[in-house]
Amino acid sequence: MIDIKLIRENKDIVKENIKKKFQDNKLILVDEVEKLDKDLRELKIQGDNLRKERNTISSEIGSLMRDKKIEDANNKKEKVVEINNKLVDIEQKENELKEEIKNRMMLIPNIIDESVPIGKDDTENVEIEKFGEPVVPSYEIPYHADIMEKMSGLDKESAGRTSGNGFYYLIGDIARLHEATIAYARDFMINKGFTYCIPPFMIRGDVVNGVMSFAEMDSMMYKIENEDLYLIGTSEHSMIGKFKGQLIDEKELPIAMTSYSPCFRKEVGSHGLEERGLYRVHQFEKQEMVVLCKPEDSMNWYNKMWNFTVEFFRSLDVPVRTLECCSGDLADLKVKSCDVEAWSPRQQKYFEVGSCSTLGDAQARRLGIRMKTENGNEYLATLNNTVVASPRALIAIIENNYQEDGSILIPKVLQPYMGGKEKIGI
C-alpha cells in the first residue's frame, strides 16, 4: 500500500505506475481516493471546528451557572447536545470514508523501481546472468517422477487416495535427499548470520491482507472453514506477521531471519504434462529468508539475498540463471523482483526454483510495522527470498546428478546429511 500523500501531491506518478503494470482498469481508483480523501479532510475540519465551539460553550455554561443564569445555561447545554449529535454523524461518516479509502488503496499497486523492465507478463522477463555451465549428457535423462518411482521413492497413487491430485509420498533415500537439502539450506543461512525460526503454519486474515494482495490470496490460500485462519503459502507470511503493530528501534535493524515451513497452495489453473510429477503441487517445504531493514538499505539487501540463493545452488553444482521480473509480472506489493532458475538437462531449459523480492514499506504500512528513529517513527522496508523450495530443488539435484546407470550422485555438501552416502539408486 502506497502513502496517500503521493496521491495528494503527485497522483500522475501513481497513474503512470499503474500504466506500467498494464492495470489501466485501476486508474479510476486514484481519482476516487483523491476525492474521498478531500471529503474526509473537510469532515475533519468540520469536526474540529465543532469541538472548538463545544469547548467554548462549555466554558460559557460554567460562567452562566456561577452567575445563576440558569435559563441561559440550559440553552447553551441544548446547543452542546446538538453539537454532540452532529459530531456523532461526522465521526460515522469519517469512519465510512476511511474504510472506502483503505479498500481502494489496498488495490493500488506499489511504485516499482526505476530499474524494472516494462513488460506485460512473465514472457517478457529479462535474463540477467548465468552461473555455471549447463550440461546435457550424452545419455537420456528420464522424467524426474519416473526416476523417483524406479527407486521406490515417490508414490503419487497412494497420495491420490488419501488427499487427491497434487499430493505425494516421498519414501526412502529420495525422502532423505529431500530433507538433506532442507537441512543444508538451514545451516547455509545460519552460517550467513541469519536467525533460524520455525513459524506458525496458519495465520489470521488480517495478516494475510497485510502481506499480499487480494488477487494473490484468492488464487493461493487455503482457508480453514469456520475459522479466521489460513494455511500459509510461504513462511514469509508468518515471519512478517510476527512484527504486526510493532515499533522497532532502528538500532535493532536489520533483522535477518531464515525460516522453515511446509507451504500450502491451491495452484489454480495448473495443467499439462509436467503436473504429472512434482513441478506444481499443493504442498511442499521451503527454507525462506526474510529481512526487515531501513528503506535506504533495502536494495543492498535485495542484491545480497538473491546472490545467497545462487551461491546455494552452485554449492550443489546446479547451474542457475537469474531473471529480472518485468512490471506486468510483479505482484502489486512488490517494488522489484527476480527469479532464480535451475538448469534442467532433461528439458534443456531453466525452470524457477526461487524468487527474491523487495516490497519497500508496503507490507509494513499494511501491518503497522514502524521503526523508531531520532526523527520520529517511520515505516521500515521488508524483503523476502527463497533459499530453497523442495521438491523443485529435489528435481534439479536429481536431473543434474543422474548417471547413465540410473544412480544419482549426492552433492558433496549434502553427503553429511545423508549418512555419508555418495550415491543412491544402485
**Per-residue pLDDT at 61:** 81
Cα(311)–Cα(318) distance, integer angstroms: 10
Which residues on neighbouring strands pair with residue 348, listed in sequence order?
Answer: none
Residue 71's pLDDT band, with cuts at 50, 70 and 90, is confident
Is the predicted pLDDT of residue 68 greater than 90, yes or no? no
Is the predicted pLDDT of residue 159 greater than 70, yes or no? yes
Q: What pLDDT digit, counting tens, does each position of 324-378 carry? A: 999 999 999 999 999 999 999 999 999 999 999 999 999 999 999 999 999 999 9
Provide mean pLDDT across the span 283-290.
Answer: 96
Q: At what angle do helices 172-190 and 392-400 cross, to 10 degrees?
A: 110
Amino acid type, 280: R
Topology classification of domain 122-424: BirA Bifunctional Protein; domain 2 (3.30.930)
Whether residue 411 is preceded by a cis peptide bond, meaning omega within 30 degrees of 0, is: no
Cα(397)–Cα(415) distance, integer angstroms: 13
Q: What pLDDT digit, counting tens, does each position of 304-337 carry? A: 999 999 999 999 999 999 999 999 999 999 999 9
**Per-residue pLDDT at 69:** 82
Residue 90's pLDDT band, with cuts at 50, 70 and 90, is very high
**Per-residue pLDDT at 55:** 87
Query: Are 260 and 289 in contact, with CB atoms under 8 Å apart?
Result: no
Residue 78's pLDDT band, with cuts at 50, 70 and 90, is confident
Residue 116's pLDDT band, with cuts at 50, 70 and 90, is very high
Percent of the chain scored above 90 by pLDDT? Answer: 85
Q: What pLDDT digit, counting tens, does each position of 172-202 carry? A: 999 999 999 999 999 999 999 999 999 999 9
Query: Are 233 and 286 in contact, with CB atoms under 8 Å apart?
Result: no
- For residue 247, CA distances in Å to 198, 200, 208, 346, 358 come to 22, 21, 20, 50, 20
Phi, psi dihedrals of residue 244, rounded to the nearest 5°: -55, 125
**Per-residue pLDDT at 326:** 98
Give the right CATH number for 4-105 from 3.40.640.10, 3.50.50.60, 1.10.287.40, 2.30.29.30: 1.10.287.40
**Per-residue pLDDT at 269:** 54
Query: Start-end ranges of CATH 1.10.287.40 in the chain?
Result: 4-105
**Per-residue pLDDT at 196:** 98
Provide mean pLDDT across the span 271-297.
Answer: 85
Is the predicted pLDDT of residue 273 greater than 80, yes or no? no
Query: Are 413 and 402 in contact, with CB atoms under 8 Å apart?
Result: no
Is the predicted pLDDT of residue 250 greater than 60, yes or no? yes
Is the predicted pLDDT of residue 25 greater than 80, yes or no? yes
Residue 268's pLDDT band, with cuts at 50, 70 and 90, is low
Cα(347)–Cα(279) distance, integer angstroms: 13
Cβ contacts of 336 within 8 Å, gap of 6 or more: 112, 113, 115, 116, 299, 302, 325, 330, 357, 358
Percent of the chain scored above 70 by pLDDT? Answer: 98
Query: Start-end ranges of CATH 3.30.930.10 in the chain?
Result: 122-424
E strand or H helix at 57: helix 27-66
Is the predicted pLDDT of residue 9 greater than 80, yes or no? yes
Average pLDDT of the chain is: 93
